Every structure is written in C-alpha cells, then in structure tokens.
Structure 1
Amino acid sequence: MLELQYELESKAAKWYATIDIANAFFSIPLAAECRPQFAFTWRGVQYTWNRLPQEWKHSPTICHRLIQAALEKGEAPEHLQYIDDIIVWESTAAEVFEKGERIIQILLEAGFAIKKSKVKGPAREIQFLGVKWQDGRRQIPTEVINKITAMSPPTSKKETQAFLSAIGFWRMHIPEYSQIVSPLYLVTRKKNDFHWGLEQQQAFTQIKQEIAHAVALGPVRTGPEVKNVLYSAAGNHGLSWSLWQKVPGETRGQPLGFWSRSYRRSEANYTPTEKEILAAFEGVQATSEVIGTKTQLLLAPRLPVLGWMFKGKVPSTHHATDATWSKWIALITQRARIRNLNRPGILEIITNWPEGENFGLTDDEEQVQVARAEEAPPYNQLPAEETCYALFTDGSCRIVGMNRKWKAAVWSPTRQVAQATEGESGSSQLAELKAVQLALDIAEREKWPKLYLYTDSWMVANALWGWLGRWRKANWQRRGKPIWAANIWKDIASRVEKLTVKVRHVDAHVPKSRANEEHRNNEQSKYKYGKAWQIDYITLPQTRQGKRYVLTMVEATTGWLETFPVPHATARNTILGLEKQVLWRHGTPERIESDNGTHFKNSLINTWARKHGIE
C-alpha cells in the first residue's frame, strides 16, 4: 500500500476520482473442481461456496490480479489499483471524468458491477485507501483526527493496543513517533502488568497533539533543481530520520516522511558513531522507496558518517559485527556512486534539523552541492596518451613512542614510481592533504598541462569538487571559526586555479575479492531496484525445526537480503522461496544469478523462469 501512496504523491494532480467495485469478491465464480475445498457445515447441513469467499487469505490477491488483467486487456488509461479500489487523476475535471468513464466501461464489460454511490469525484480533494489527497499531498482526514483526539485514556492492554493500531497507520506524519509512544508499548507487553502511570498519560496526550497538528506529506517532485535532504540522528532510545524536498523560491521545504524506531537487540550497545551510521543506513533504505535510487541525496546526519564508509575497513573499537559493517558500507558507498550527471548519489552536509525552524541550506551550501567540478574518469578509461598525467595519492599516520608520525605518498602507474614525504604531529587526514600538495609539485615541476588525481580521501575529493570555492568566499572560515588546515587548503586552491585538475575518489584499501565483488555490483547497477537478484543455499550447523538449509536471496543494487529456510535444497523449494520472498514482496525480477547446482539449473526452474520472463 505504501508503494501506491508514494507513486500517487509523485503525480501532484489537481483533480481526482475514485471507483470502488461493488461486491468484487462475489463477482468472481469458483471453478467447479475447486468448490469442495470451500465446503462447510451449518446447522447440520453441508454447503460450499460458489463465489470467491471474502475471508479466504488468498482472495484479495486473486481479486486484485483479475481486475488488473481486465483493465490491462481493455487498455485502461493511467490509474492506480489496490484490490477493488481504483483512483484516477488529471489536471482538469473533464479529463478525470473521461478517464473514469472509460475504466467503468471496461469493468462492466468484464462482468464487474459498479454502484454510482461507490464512485467519487471528480474533486480537488478525495479519500483513497483511507488517506486524504490534495495536489499530490498525503494528509490525515479530519474525521480521523477528531476520532483519535476524542479517545479516552485506555484502561486495559486491549484498549491500549487498539489505540496504537489507530495511530500507527499515520506514524510517517509524526517526527520521532517511536520514541513518543514507547511508554504505551511498555504496558502492552505480556510480561508486564497493565499500569497506566504519569509517563503513559504524558505520551498519550503528546501523541494526540502530534496527530492534531500533523503536516501533509509530499508531493514528490523530480528534476535537477529539486534538493532531497535526509536528516538522520540516533537518540538515547532509538533512531530517527526524515526526508525533505526543496526547490528554488521556497523558504521552507516540503516533508516527504518521518521515520523512527527503537533500538533492537544489541544496537543499544553500539558506539555513538555506529548508531549514527545505522540511522543513516536505515534512512537511505527508506528514502530509496520514496524518491528512488537514481536521484541525488543530501545526507545530513548529526555526526559525519560517509568518511567511515569510504575507509573500507572496520574500526577496532566497533561493537557491531563485521557483517553489519559490510552491509552498511556496501549499501551507502554503492548508493553514493549511482549518478550519471557528474555528481555522486549521496553528498554529506552537516546542518541543523528542520523541525521547528526554517528548513534550507545556506546560499553557499546550496551552491556547492549543485555546482561540481568535472570528475576524472576511471583510470582504465583514460586515453593512453593521457595516463602519464595520472597520479594516485594516499596518506597514513602511526604512533611511534609518544609521537604521531604521518606519511604522504604519490604513485605514478605509468612510471611505476612512488614518491613520499613524512612529518610529525599530524593525522592521516593531514597526510592526505600533503599527498595532494606533493602531486601538484610533480605536475608543476614537469609542466604538465593537466593532472588526473585519484584519491581515497572523500574529504579531499569533495573539497576539490567544490568546497574550496565556498571556503574562499567565506574567508576560509565556517561559522566564524577558521577551517581545519586553512593554510594548506589556501595553497592547494591557488595552485589548482593555474592547472587543470580532475579528481576521482577511489577505494584504495580493499582486498581483491571485494574489488571483484564491487565490480560485479557496478555491472548490476544498470538494473532498477528489485530487478536483479543473486541466490544461493547455505547449510545450517544443525537442523532446526526440520530445516537444514537456507535459501539466501540478495538484491543486486542495494544488498538487501531475503532468506527462506527449507528442509532440502531442491528446485521446488527454490521456486517456492523466490515466489514468497522475492516476487510477492519486490515484484518479478528481470535476472536471477546462481551457481550451476541442480537445485538452480534444471527443467522445472527453466520452465518457471521462462513463464515469468526471468533471465
């Protein structure tokens, strides 16, 4: 349902109409051979259904697909459908009326019944799936707000659960929803007795106030001038993130959604940095469903996180597992690289959260995030005659006795020669800057017409892509304080004005196995989310509940993992796992990769794949 809401937000229509099919389930006859399985006894007499029963768990799916097939066969105009509810939209009432008439005609010809009372619109405001829609904005209906705000404090666990169910659907409208209602969830736990105290009453009052003043979400806008900003933060009790959009001329951005959740299991023991990375990771995943993965995202955590991701190694003080760190690094670094307009997919900014104040970047920040210098191509794509102008830089630091010693190095791949310089009382970040200075020394000394600079420092790459201009304009200060290593940056800025420098960020410290994996991931990035998967079976250390193997399914563009435990690694179980975990949740993919085992490559799976159009 959320996917439909996100898509409807992106339409930003002026007029809407909705169509609700009357008795949709009972319009679908059951085949004679299927009727025995729906037999039941009432007052000593045996009956069976001859129409699709409403309470059967597969009825909604069957009904949705049959209506969808009828609309596709009749070549229905653009619309959105959820089971037997349909909505159309356009910029004028006449266009909406025409589209609605066409869809009603197709449904009637397919044997479905339409009541006039079930057709709403054309109208500028309309309710669809319980949500109020206007100009592409998603809002809480007034009657829902009145109902929630009129509720009395619960007197039992059951009443508390009913209240939480009533407000939970609207959680994306409420900043830090999870933290606000956490005292209410405490009284619903089986191990706790029901006790309505001061903490619960305060949470109850606050969440009703938040519902009453909830903001509209959307519309989702696209285009080069649209800025998508993800604010993420880790608090004492959980994670929060929110997605905002701003276009030129707006003094305040438009929120697209607020998310929050409490810490799970060992997450509460993570270091502060790990918690911030987790919040950013969750935020990137959630916002990708709203704005996709191809748009640029300005990431605004309360602590910088991108630097850790591009180091490619786990800090020694970490609490999260290596597998968790690998998951964070894989998603965020790959998402950062998905761009075709000479801009990375994710840029990091540090600013204040927008709640309670005007949202927006400063003029200088807006300028730097949009204007970016030309990026150097990958080294293996350089023309052969220009590889001699390419240099790779790196910096490191180590502690010797009581002193810190740094080392900066530059390597020429064509000459197979490295040049280095050393110093004391510095950090690895300082060494990265010294390495850039060393590279500029070589280019100037040999009078190169240009320099292709390949650095593993995300800070250096961003500075050369645009930050230097902002710093110079601000007199090498930020918020009234001199920027770090201002003198070195000034020197670099003055020298790059006289020499054409193109820079590219690279991962220098990765093992060959990970580099090969990253190359495969880049090859798979041509697919949209959910269209390419890698699957394999792993064997459990011991049989649990009769299950000995686990089918693992990894989404190729994000690294999202789905699992399906099975007793045996067979072709039939492979198909069952893919249908339940992939096709039903993520849609039909275009490609699935696996090894050549018989549980992946045989006539049964080949026939199934051809039927679904899967490569």
Structure 2
Amino acid sequence: MEQGIIAPVSETEDLLISSPIVLVSKRSKNAGKPSAQDFRFCCDYRFLNSQTREFKYTIPDLQELTESFSEIIPNFISSIDLSSGFFQMGLSSDSSQYTAFNTCFGTYKFLRLPMGLKTAPNTFQLLMDKVLHGLKFKSCLCYLDDVLICSETFEQHMSDLKEVFRRFRNAGLKLGPKKCSFAAQSCRFLGHLISKDGIRPPPDRVKAITEYPRPKNVKELRRLLGLFNWFRKFIPNYSALVNPLTRLLKKGQLFHWRNEQETAFSDLKQKLTNSEILRFPKYDLTFRLSVDTSSRGIGYMLYQLDPNDNTQKPRIIRFGSKSLSPWQQSYGPDKARTVRDGCEYT
C-alpha cells in the first residue's frame, strides 16, 4: 500500500465483485520451514476472468523469438528485466474497482495492473511494444517484461542500450538491476542460452532434468514431460522417443513403469545432454529439410549448408517431430513413405 500498488476500498464505493486471495509458495516442498518471503500474494480472479472479454493482442511466440536472430550477429548481449513489470502499469478507476479482494483487515483494490487477470499479459505486451516500437527484431527482442538487446559491435551495443534506456525513462519504467546483465557474450533468455554461436539449453536446466528421479505417478510424469517438452526442438525424433511415456497419460491407463518407459526416459536424457547447438537461420542460404519416419512418428531436421564452411557440417536450425495416430501407424512402408514425402514438401 505504501508503494501505491493497492488502496483500501472506501465505504462509498459500490463494488460489483470482490475476489479471494491465495498464497502461492515459491519454495520446493523439501526446502525446510518457510518464511513470509517464500509466498507470493495472488488473487483468485477465476470468476472475474470468466466474465471478462478477451483482449486479442498478440503475445510473441516463444519459438519464433528464440529463432529471430538472422541479420544481427549477437556478439554483445544485454538482458533487461523490469522491476515488478505489471505493477508499473496503472489502472483506470473504472478498472480498479473490479480488482477488489478480501482480507482479514478489510477490502482492498489494485491501483496497478495485477497478475492473474486474463487480459494482463496482452495489455502489458501492448505497452512494451509501444515503448520499443521500431527497435523490435532490429536491435532487441521483447517478451512481456523480459528484453534482450543484441549488437554486432561494442560501440553499436552502447548506442542500442542508450536508446532502450531513453525509451524506458520516457515511459517511466524502472529496471530490476539484480536480474539485468550487460554486454555479455552469452545470456539466458526465455529459458534458453543465447550466444553468437546459436541457442542451447542452459547447463543447469539440463543437469536438473538428467537428475530428475523416475516418476512414480501421473503427476510427476506430467511435470517431467513439461521439462522435456520445453527443449523438444533440441531432440531428434522427440515424438517417437517420448511415446512410451505419453501413453501412460491416457484415460483409463494404469501407471505401470516398465522397461519400455525406462528406456525412453534414459534415451531422452541422453539426447538432451548431447544436444547440438541450434544455429540462427541465414536467409541468404537455402533452407533444407530432412524427414525420417518410424513406426511411431515422423521427425524432421531443418538445416542449412554454408558454402564457406569446408567441413560442410549442417547448420541445424531445429528438430521437429509429430506422433502418428494408431491408424497411421498401421501404414505399410510405401504409404508411410508417402506421408513422409508429403511432410517434406509441405
């Protein structure tokens, strides 16, 4: 309240709705006795969201953002994070009344944009796109309150940083210095490690996945698959490899972890550990697509060949795959090859 984020609701205000609060733990279950700082204050806006019209403003696709480097060689990279980004965006009085929430000390409302509203991410992305208009995909990338600035030379990087800072200053936006890094050779962005060489999974994330214990139930399996799925573009034939695990999620399927699941679990870890660095596309080179089929799925590799590279090693841009339905799995070799060729030329 001292920071001007919330305010008490006065007796004269006629509220149409008030939402309950929830405390979300930021710690793991085995992290010991929690303190007040280990919980995030949130509001349960599910009913309000169900009555709210959608604000159809596009949020960038994570896949497209991490593959957006082509013209820029990111020799120098800075990562900028706004301090409590949503709370830096004010609400009108008409909107503020709908964010009211109940506490044992009374009823309060937000004066700044709270998390949990269905329109909050889209609205904040619109603000950032306006602030960085003309810079996106030229010198910087932006996903909500995460901004990445890339330049080929140090001098250009300083100029790009000054322009972004000027835009933020004019918009009254403040940075969170603890989460910012400047003029680095590599930087973490949207869960990936970015450098001039390309994109790869961060080593600590890979280590966490390789040390992940064998799932004992569906809940643990879903969490594991969420970790693998985030990095699926680094794993060749991912859909076919993960098939024995995803089958355990089918309705009515008993959770029996057999040798087939253990093999898939080990193979996925090994593939991710030894994954290739994915390269940024060069639009002056020919794009090539290599497609492979198996009894479980279709996999592809998007790559380029650089004529200036004497090794002629493929510049792999990404791997992709698709599971085959049960009736597609029954295809004979000729028909399966037809499906593969159709994917190759689509």
Which of residues 188, 196, 211 is equivalent to 1:150? 211
Which of residues 310, 324, 328 is equivalent to 1:263? 324
Which of residues 86, 89, 94 is equivalent to 1:28? 89
| Residue 161 (str. 1) matches residue 222 (str. 2) | yes
The Cα offsets for residues 470-519 of structure 1, whole Å up to 9 and x where unpaired, read as xxxxxxxxxxxxxxxxxxxxxxxxxxxxxxxxxxxxxxxxxxxxxxxxxx
Aligned partners of 2:88 and 2:112 also within 8 Å? yes
Tell me what 2:291 maps to: 232
* Equivalent residue runs for 1:20-59 within 5 Å: 20-43=81-104, 45-59=106-120
Rg larger for: 1
Shift of 1:39: 2.3
Shift of 1:265: 5.8
Aligned partners of 2:306 and 2:315 also within 8 Å? no
Shift of 1:75: 10
Shift of 1:6: 1.6
Which of residues 242, 245, 261 is equivalent to 2:301? 242
Tell me what 1:436 maps to: none
Shift of 1:45: 3.0
What is the distance in 2 between the residues matched to 1:129 and 1:83? Answer: 11
Aligned partners of 2:72 and 2:139 also within 8 Å? no
SS at match of 2:179: strand
Tell me what 1:89 maps to: 150
Shift of 1:5: 1.4
Which of residues 201, 225, 228 is equivalent to 2:262? 201
The structure whose RCO (Cα within 8 Å, separation 6+) is larger is 2
Tell me what 1:68 maps to: 129
The Cα offsets for residues 301-351 of structure 1, whole Å up to 9 and x where unpaired, read as xxxxxxxxxxxxxxxxxxxxxxxxxxxxxxx4xxxxxxxxxxxxxxxxxxx
- Whichever residue aligns with residue 196 of structure 2, its letter is D
- Whichever residue aligns with residue 246 of structure 2, its letter is Y
The Cα offsets for residues 120-179 of structure 1, whole Å up to 9 and x where unpaired, read as 120111111111011150111111111111111111111111111111111111111111
* Equivalent residue runs for 1:74-153 within 5 Å: 78-153=139-214
- Whichever residue aligns with residue 178 of structure 1, its letter is S
Bigger share in helix:
1
What is the distance in 2 between the residues matched to 1:43 and 1:175? Answer: 54
What is the distance in 1 between the residues matched to 2:321 and 2:91? Answer: 44
What is the distance in 2 between the residues matched to 1:103 and 1:266? Answer: 53
* Equivalent residue runs for 1:167-182 within 5 Å: 167-182=228-243
| Residue 6 (str. 1) matches residue 59 (str. 2) | no
SS at match of 2:72: coil
Structure 2 gaps, min length 5: 1-61
Tell me what 1:188 maps to: 249
What is the distance in 2 between the residues matched to 1:48 and 1:283? Answer: 54
Query: Closer, same or farther in 2 for the Cα pair 1:33/1:155, shift >3 Å?
Result: same
Shift of 1:105: 2.2
SS at match of 2:329: helix
**Segment drifting more, 41-50 vs 210-219:** 41-50
What is the distance in 1 between the residues matched to 2:229 and 2:164? Answer: 33
After TM superposition, the score normalised by the length of structure 1 is: 0.44
After TM superposition, the score normalised by the length of structure 2 is: 0.76
SS at match of 1:66: helix
Aligned partners of 2:240 and 2:294 also within 8 Å? no
Query: Closer, same or farther in 2 for the Cα pair 1:206/1:39, shift >3 Å?
Result: same
What is the distance in 2 between the residues matched to 1:74 and 1:269? Answer: 50
What is the distance in 2 between the residues matched to 1:73 and 1:260? Answer: 35
What is the distance in 2 between the residues matched to 1:232 and 1:40? Answer: 54
**Cα RMSD, aligned residues only:** 2.3
Aligned partners of 1:217 and 1:254 also within 8 Å? yes
The Cα offsets for residues 93-117 of structure 1, whole Å up to 9 and x where unpaired, read as 2321321122022112201111332
What is the distance in 1 between the residues matched to 2:326 and 2:260? Answer: 23
Query: Closer, same or farther in 2 for the Cα pair 1:50/1:280, shift >3 Å?
Result: farther
| Residue 18 (str. 1) matches residue 79 (str. 2) | yes
What is the distance in 1 between the residues matched to 2:325 and 2:170? Answer: 52
What is the distance in 1 between the residues matched to 2:332 and 2:260? Answer: 28
Query: Closer, same or farther in 2 for the Cα pair 1:100/1:77, shift >3 Å?
Result: farther
Aligned partners of 2:68 and 2:280 also within 8 Å? no
Tell me what 2:273 maps to: 212
Shift of 1:281: 4.0
- Percent identity of equivalent pairs: 23
Shift of 1:283: 4.8
Aligned partners of 1:76 and 1:106 also within 8 Å? no
Aligned partners of 2:238 and 2:320 also within 8 Å? yes
Shift of 1:200: 1.0
Aligned partners of 2:74 and 2:150 also within 8 Å? yes
- Whichever residue aligns with residue 26 of structure 1, its letter is F
Aligned partners of 2:72 and 2:152 also within 8 Å? no
Tell me what 2:7 maps to: none
Aligned partners of 2:217 and 2:255 also within 8 Å? yes
What is the distance in 1 between the residues matched to 2:78 and 2:147? Answer: 8
- Whichever residue aligns with residue 210 of structure 1, its letter is K
Tell me what 2:26 maps to: none
What is the distance in 1 between the residues matched to 2:219 and 2:90? Answer: 38
What is the distance in 2 between the residues matched to 1:174 and 1:275? Answer: 22
What is the distance in 1 between the residues matched to 2:220 and 2:269? Answer: 15
Aligned partners of 1:12 and 1:219 also within 8 Å? no
- Name the count of aligned residue pairs: 283
Query: Closer, same or farther in 2 for the Cα pair 1:196/1:75, shift >3 Å?
Result: closer
Query: Closer, same or farther in 2 for the Cα pair 1:196/1:100, shift >3 Å?
Result: same
Shift of 1:40: 2.5
Query: Closer, same or farther in 2 for the Cα pair 1:180/1:10, shift >3 Å?
Result: farther
The Cα offsets for residues 211-241 of structure 1, whole Å up to 9 and x where unpaired, read as 1101111121132xx3422111221111111
